[in-house]
Amino acid sequence: MKYVFIVNPKAGAEDNAAKIKNETASLPEKDDIEVYVTKAVGDAITFVRSRCENEPDQKFRFIACGGDGTVNEVFNGAVGHENAEVSCYPCGSGNDFVKVFGAEKFKNIPALISAPTRKLDLLKVGDRYANNVVNFGFDTTVAITINNERAKTGHGNKNAYTKGVVTALIKSMKNTCTVKADGETLNADGKALLCTVANGQYVGGSFKCAPRAKTDDGLIEVCLIRPISRLRFVKILGTYTEGKHLDDPKMSDIVVYRQTKKVEVSAPAGFAYSLDGEIIYESNFSIEIAPAALNLAVPE
């Protein structure tokens, strides 16, 4: 087994490549450990896919070192290759995906080397896969604003997040789209505040959007929130953040929840959704479950 740590140099404040090299130098598996530093967006996909295809008889454990974007790239590169396992060393800003398992256990590098594997479902959207969440509506508007601020300033911060929320409160309280789950239309009026299509449980750093989600049950968690007033939005935000919205009777009139295998979305031109944090513009798309698509190493 080759253990390949794939490091996003822009994730986190410290030099994670140097840290990983130092911490693995004395491990029994040190001769089978590699550290690769990504060069650009998308590089991790290309690197992982190339290693798997060019060395078909070699078994790999690719460990994504960064945030949710790095994890998504590594997993997209590994999917479909029988000689690949995946895991994560969370050092990004959100690290949403690993929270469903307990994020802290993934910060133990020797434990990542020896961790047993379990099957991981993925969400297939066209030719891309999401390991955590595909979402659209209010929070995608927030993400777009943050990305625009990051492009201007070179970094994201609390001010960018605040600006994103304010922008969404002005522009994104009633989004036009129609969502179907296994053929059932969830919003006949074609409107939604937001919708999360989830494999994991968390999105946006702290929002427990899919509290019942399991990453290996062969099901997609769909939660659509109907349009509401800004005042009510403020009142329910805490409940939604804590993941209590599916069981709160005060929210039953605005929450539409399903477990499904396929989701279809139709929207006007220029519609945007977020795939594990990546903003994609597409007006008509479908999301299908890809059961047991990867072997995920989870430290005990």
Question: Per-residue pLDDT averaged across 277-284, rounded?
Answer: 94
* The pLDDT of residue 39 is above 60: yes
* The pLDDT of residue 20 is above 90: yes
Q: How confident is the model at residue 121 (pLDDT cuts 50, 70, 90)?
A: very high
Query: Residue for token digits 């309280």?
Result: 173
Strand pairing report for 117-125 and 284-297: antiparallel
Q: Is the pTM of this model over 0.75?
A: yes
Q: How confident is the model at residue 275 (pLDDT cuts 50, 70, 90)?
A: very high
Outline which parts of the chain fall under CATH 2.60.200.40. 133-291
How distant, in Å, are the alpha carbons of 50, 84, 216, 272, 276 from that of 195? 35, 32, 21, 12, 14
Outline which parts of the chain fall under CATH 3.40.50.10330. 2-115
**What pLDDT does 220 receive?**
98
What is the CATH superfamily name and number for domain 2-115?
Answer: Probable inorganic polyphosphate/atp-NAD kinase; domain 1 (3.40.50.10330)
Amino acid at 31: D
**What pLDDT does 147 receive?**
81
Long-range pairs, 31-36, Cβ under 8 A, ≥24: 32/1, 32/2, 32/3, 33/2, 33/3, 33/4, 33/5, 33/113, 34/2, 34/3, 34/4, 34/5, 35/4, 35/5, 35/7, 36/4, 36/5, 36/6, 36/7
Top-confidence residue, 293 or 207: 293
Q: Measure the CA–CA gap between 241 and 203, rounded to whole angstroms.
A: 9
Q: Which two tokens stand for residue 158?
A: 């609390």
Query: Domain 133-291: which topology?
Result: Tumour Suppressor Smad4 (2.60.200)
Is the CB of residue 170 less than 8 Å from the CB of residue 233?
no
**What pLDDT does 13 receive?**
75
Q: Which two tokens stand for residue 161?
A: 């997040």
* Rg for the chain, CA atoms, rounded: 19
* The pLDDT of residue 102 is above 60: yes
